[in-house]
Structure 1
Amino acid sequence: MAIEDFDDILPHVGSFGPFQKRILLLSLPVNYFLAVVYMAQIYQTLTPEHWCAVPELNNLELSERRNLSIPMETRDGELVYSRCRMFDVNFTQMDVTEQPNSSWPTKPCSTADGWDYDLSGGMYHTIVSESNWVCDDDWRPNFAQAMFFVGAIVGSLLFGLLADWYGRLPVLIMSNVLACGAGVATGFAKGFVDYVVCRFLVGMAYDLHYMMMYIILMEYVGPEKRTIVGNVPLAIFLTLGASSLPWIAYALADWRLFSIISSAPIAIIVVAWWLVPESARWLVLKGKSDQTLKTLQQCARINKKTVDPLIYEEFQAATLRTYQLEKDNPINWMDLFRSPKMRQRFLIITLTWMVITVVYDGYVRSLAILPYSVFITNSIAGALELPADLVPVVTLDRLGRRWTLMMALSLAGLAGVATGIVPQSSAMLMTLLAMASRFFITIAMNTGIQYTVELIPTQLRGQGTGVVHITGHGATFFAPFILYLVTYCKH
């Protein structure tokens, strides 16, 4: 068989031997850290149940203070204690055994006195309760999360350029070092600006800190193994990360310590500099045929393969042709709009991906609204990542990409609409529908990733996929604000 591209030489040097398994082994923690980078803020910004603090009543038990000083109000169809108003009476002259009267005047909580927080049920102080980001300031956590996605846009553009100029491996190291450093720094944030800056920097690393390793791994694995290698490890370790993070936060009960302990291990990815090869296709496109050859010879040696020198010579000749062709015919992502068919296809892909990312992010962050332990609901929802990641492995080849994507989006939409229609009193049904919708949107996301790569022409695949992901980050910027609308939606 003639050697025309990198896939053709893989059978000769070994397409899934010890060389590839070493890369796969190091990719496993990267899959876990994807959950850390994306989901850590959930446990940094949990909002405990709260009400106005009344210093004059500090000699009473917490429940007694609330009963005496806080009026009742209707929220989500239930009569509950107000979070942002208190009775406007002189508590120093009041008989503490007196029962509150609903006719008493009320006033907003005093920012000077602050709020009392209910830390029962495993809840702990977060930056929200430390900084009193509640009532008039309850927009701050959502804004910080939106800045995470602004960082993701900036990071995708910046690191994307660096990956084209200097290679995938340096960007893999830089993005993970940034995720580690900014994640640890989050634990030392003293206020709103500090926290937002840290979230922006972590966002810069998001996606590429994982995608660079994914790209390198997929290039060195034979086509017959790519579906399994690309999906199963991600499914297992992303699920492990998503379902274990709630319990790490619960056990530590300290948002600062959680930020440090969950982010610090990302530093282990630095060893990739010595253990992981540079992207073969990047080397080919940059005309670095000698370095590509050394990597292939190392692969053959580790995999214990004997390769005819003529095979290497044929491969080098093919890479030189590819390099010269790219040099003589430079292209960029704007070429995706030159033909009407490709333009239409690319716009549909982009809009679909924007919808998927917004809906997925909304479900990831909305589970805290449900009337159950956030640690239990997030752990169960995290465990659903495993079957949702594995379903496409079966359906993509049997049903096809289009049908799998269409059915997943339709079922996610139906379950999502049903979640909004179900009355608040049916909490269990609402929770099950929300988790079902997240399950299906996760299938749609995994299908969309692969479908996007396959629909974009090979020579435009890197830039085209990058544009799609950046527009997804741009759309997801609005997800925290959409979720914040629940503040104004009273059932």
Structure 2
Amino acid sequence: MLEVDKMLEKCGDFNRQQLIMLLLSSLINLLSAMHFVSSSIMNTVPKHWCADGLGSGPPPPNIDECKPFYSNSSNSGTCKKYNYESYMGFQSFVSEMNWICDDKWKLKQANNIAMAGCVLGTLVMGYLADLLGRVPILVFANVITVLGNFLTIFGVNFELFCMLRFLMSFVVNSNFSIIRILIVEYMRPSLHTVCLNICYGFLIYLGMVITPSIAILMGSWRRFMLLDALPIIVVPIFYYFVPESVQWLISRQKYDQAIESLRRVAKINGRQIDDSDFEEFIEDCKLSQQNTKTNPNLLHLFKTPRLRRTFLILLFEFTPWSLFRLVCVVRHWVLSIP
């Protein structure tokens, strides 16, 4: 809506409000990167070998070994206890739960369920954001992620662990994508590329680089997941510093709430806006909606050259990655079948 863009220029399209949103977005991206890497870290499979019948402190074998080194009438060739050679002293979830050898299928199944949750959540959470609003879904997604990380510490059985990983994967894409949409709406268009690349690309890269070192310093997957869950204390501030999408409020004909969001942006940015400007803005929005004869649908993406170009760019950018993830889900699922 052109009316929204003009109103945001008066309220301030790059000032304190936008800087606060960039800061929160950077924090979310950093934590999301830690969450992405946490699965690989906690599911690390260290070098292992069967400890049945071995004395104290034997030298580790050259390769992983699932069978006892010494067979006799008291064992049936099935190992009951394993030794691990942990990397820099880090104890992973796999080494604690012994999800190796005959139980390695559990790890593959858990990863399959997590990836399925990610694919399904991308569709459902986007629909909920259109139905209930951007900010509530943003807060909900971050709360579920942080609580899921904390509760995973107690997920010592297969079913509970899979359920928690599914829930976290279900909301993981919404953690950073929704606030990115809000930043695009409230920020000056000429600064979209620079600001989003800094708080999105750079912070996610930084988070992925430093997360393994943080995990090593923690020493175990439980302490690492606890550290990852601590940021829940900052989630409630989203309600106070992140305004709801004005365009979404206008599309739902919630005009009073749209004005309230704009007033809050103007107040934080130190701008004084006359009531007549807000009234004129709402009248223009109502007039624009009255002149719109049909409700937007998927086919409207091809209505104008600009929309067609943007849609095709996004399609070619994200489709290969989405197909790759789908192939990985199917492949892991097939390989995990006994």
Bin for the TM-score computed over the shorter chain: 0.7 to 0.9
Distance in 1 between the 2:323 and 2:42 partners? Answer: 21
Give the aligned CA root-mean-square deviation in angstroms.
3.2
| Aligned-residue offset at 1:184 | 0.7
| Aligned-residue offset at 1:109 | 5.5
| Aligned-residue offset at 1:153 | 3.0
Within 5 Å, which residues of 2 pair with 1:120-139? 121-139=87-105
Gaps of 5+ in 1: 68-79, 93-106, 360-472, 486-491
| Aligned-residue offset at 1:88 | 5.0
Are 2:66 and 1:84 equivalent residues in the alignment?
yes
Distance in 1 between the 2:105 and 2:63 partners? Answer: 21
User: Which runs of structure 1 show a deviation greater than 6 angstroms over 4 or more consecutive aligned residues?
Assistant: 342-348
Are 2:229 and 1:233 equivalent residues in the alignment?
no
> Contact (CA 8 Å) 2:45, 2:95: kept in 1 or not?
yes
* Cα distance per residue 1:413-471 (max 9 Å; x no partner): xxxxxxxxxxxxxxxxxxxxxxxxxxxxxxxxxxxxxxxxxxxxxxxxxxxxxxxxxxx
* Residue of structure 2 equivalent to 1:369: none
* Cα distance per residue 1:341-362 (max 9 Å; x no partner): x999978965762422566xxx
Gaps of 5+ in 2: none
CA change 1:232–1:476 in 2 (3 A) is farther
Within 5 Å, which residues of 2 pair with 1:200-219? 200-219=166-185
* Residue of structure 1 equivalent to 2:36: 38
Distance in 2 between the 1:307 and 1:53 partners? Answer: 74
Within 5 Å, which residues of 2 pair with 1:9-408? 9-54=7-52, 56-58=53-55, 60-63=56-59, 66=60, 80-87=62-69, 89-90=71-72, 110-111=78-79, 113-119=80-86, 121-307=87-273, 309-324=275-290, 328-333=293-298, 350=315, 353-357=318-322
Distance in 1 between the 2:58 and 2:294 partners? Answer: 72
What letter is aligned with 1:202? Answer: M
Distance in 1 between the 2:310 and 2:20 partners? Answer: 37
What letter is aligned with 2:81? Answer: G
* Cα distance per residue 1:30-83 (max 9 Å; x no partner): 1111112222111111111011222x323x3231xx56xxxxxxxxxxxx4342
Higher relative contact order by CA 8 Å / sep ≥ 6: 1 or 2?
A: 2
> Contact (CA 8 Å) 1:45, 1:128: kept in 2 or not?
yes
| Aligned-residue offset at 1:204 | 1.3
| Aligned-residue offset at 1:203 | 0.7
TM-score by length of 2: 0.86
| Aligned-residue offset at 1:91 | 10
> Contact (CA 8 Å) 2:150, 2:226: kept in 1 or not?
yes
| Aligned-residue offset at 1:242 | 0.9
Distance in 2 between the 1:310 and 1:343 partners? Answer: 37
SS of the residue corresponding to residue 116 of structure 1 reads: strand
CA change 1:147–1:117 in 2 (3 A) is same
Distance in 1 between the 2:217 and 2:331 partners? Answer: 29
> Contact (CA 8 Å) 2:117, 2:166: kept in 1 or not?
yes
Distance in 2 between the 1:117 and 1:210 partners? Answer: 37
> Contact (CA 8 Å) 1:183, 1:264: kept in 2 or not?
no
SS of the residue corresponding to residue 88 of structure 2 reads: coil
> Contact (CA 8 Å) 2:139, 2:235: kept in 1 or not?
yes
SS of the residue corresponding to residue 84 of structure 2 reads: strand
- Percent identical pairs in the alignment equals 27
SS of the residue corresponding to residue 117 of structure 1 reads: strand
What letter is aligned with 1:477? Answer: V
Q: How many residues align?
A: 334
Distance in 2 between the 1:62 and 1:45 partners? Answer: 26
Within 5 Å, which residues of 2 pair with 1:338-487? 350=315, 353-357=318-322, 474-475=326-327, 477-478=329-330
Distance in 2 between the 1:348 and 1:18 partners? Answer: 32
* Cα distance per residue 1:271-299 (max 9 Å; x no partner): 11122110111111111222212222232
CA change 1:89–1:154 in 2 (3 A) is closer
Distance in 1 between the 2:203 and 2:118 partners? Answer: 22
TM-score by length of 1: 0.61
What letter is aligned with 2:63? Answer: Y
* Cα distance per residue 1:183-213 (max 9 Å; x no partner): 1111111122121111001011111121111
What letter is aligned with 1:117? Answer: Y
